[in-house]
Amino acid sequence: MNQQTILVTGGYGCIGAETTKWLLRNSEASVVVCSRSVCEERTERVFHDVDRERLTIMKADVTDQNAIQSLLTDQQITRVIHLAALQTPDCNAHRDFGLQVNLAGTQNLIEAMKASGLKLERFIFASSVAVYGPRASYPEGSVPMLAEPKPVNVYGAWKLAGENVSRFFYEETGIPTLSLRPGVLFGPGRDAGLTASPTTAMKHLALGLPFEIPFRSRQDYLFAPDVGGAIGNAILNPFQGYGAFTLPSLTLATEEIVEALQKVATEMGLAEQFKITVGNEEVPFICDLEYEPFLAAFPNVPQTPLDEALQKSLEVFLEHARRGWIGN
């Protein structure tokens, strides 16, 4: 494989940061992270635990096609991971801006890639399990990866549209392209949205504060660094054509993850400050999604056991609490 220079849009976010760190630790690729807002303090906080010699941080907004095209050509990008997006709460609150970032921004990036003249080798679009409908929309048992999409909000609708324009990009250019659909992330870097509540609980535990996760529904959970590793594998390892994939996950009820967290906290000597409870809200999240096709295509992706993932997450948040990076 030739020397790779990989662009990660939205690289300050949870998935972007973990993907960037995985690439820097597990490959010889250079990584260019772009964000619409860049500052040295944020770079230090997000990437303090990785060698930044092959990391470049650049200010660029996916709503500005010319800026993105200049970045692609100036940095001689070879592969692109597109993660820049507003999350569900911001999409609901600011629909016009969400449309410009999540859908028009994806199209802008695609047009910039086509116009750049670069011989790109891979494109990954970060979709979401939000393209599916509520769990009750599908039969019992495992939900097939290619089950009918039924988005219930604009975030999911724009992600589904992003998958389609990404597929058009492959059909027009022949550049291998993947749409990846992560579920509910937990662990380092997760900080926004209703489904961030289990991670918020871990941060409160690290601070010795009480917290109630409002819902007790089942969800497909993914450890954030594992998602970074999955995307890292998908951007570097052999793949041809176009594919849409869900990622490896664990289907757990909220009570199950809280019980596992309490066990880990006790083993870490944090039993006295464990004050995490579960509310009574039932939310019809999609879960039980099939992910074996992704493992068949990329068999070496990391799959960290739950207890180990929770311990690693708590260790990170305890360190963040010590540094003053999380608080009330």
The upper half-sphere exposure of residue 15, i.e. CA atoms within 13 Å in the direction of its Cβ, equals 28
Output the pTM of the full model.
0.95
- The neighbouring-strand residues paired with 31 are 6, 55
Q: Is the dihedral of CA 45, 325, 200, 103 positive or negative?
A: negative
Compute the mean pLDDT over every residue in the chain, rounded to the nearest whole number: 94
- Read off the pLDDT of residues 95-141 as tens digits, 9 standing for 90 and up: 999 999 999 999 999 999 999 999 999 999 999 999 999 999 999 99
Which pLDDT band holds residue 36 (cuts at 50, 70, 90)?
confident
Which pLDDT band holds residue 327 (cuts at 50, 70, 90)?
low
- Read off the pLDDT of residues 249-258 as tens digits, 9 standing for 90 and up: 999 999 999 9
- Read off the pLDDT of residues 62-105 as tens digits, 9 standing for 90 and up: 999 999 999 999 999 999 999 999 888 888 999 999 999 999 99
Kindly list the domain boundaries of the chain, sorted by start residue.
5-183+223-248+284-303
Q: Indicate the Cα dihedral angle 115, 118, 120, 123, nearest 10°.
A: -30
pLDDT of residue 1: 64
Measured distance between the N- and C-terminal CA atoms of the chain, rounded to whole angstroms: 47
SS (H, E, C) 127-168: CCHHHCCCHHHCCCCCECCCCCCCCCCHHHHHHHHHHHHHHH
Q: Is the dihedral of CA 283, 181, 15, 105 positive or negative?
A: negative
Fold for 5-183+223-248+284-303, please state it: Rossmann fold (3.40.50)
- The neighbouring-strand residues paired with 211 are 276
- Read off the pLDDT of residues 201-256 as tens digits, 9 standing for 90 and up: 999 999 999 999 998 889 999 999 999 999 999 999 999 999 999 999 999 999 99
- pLDDT above 70 (res 155): yes
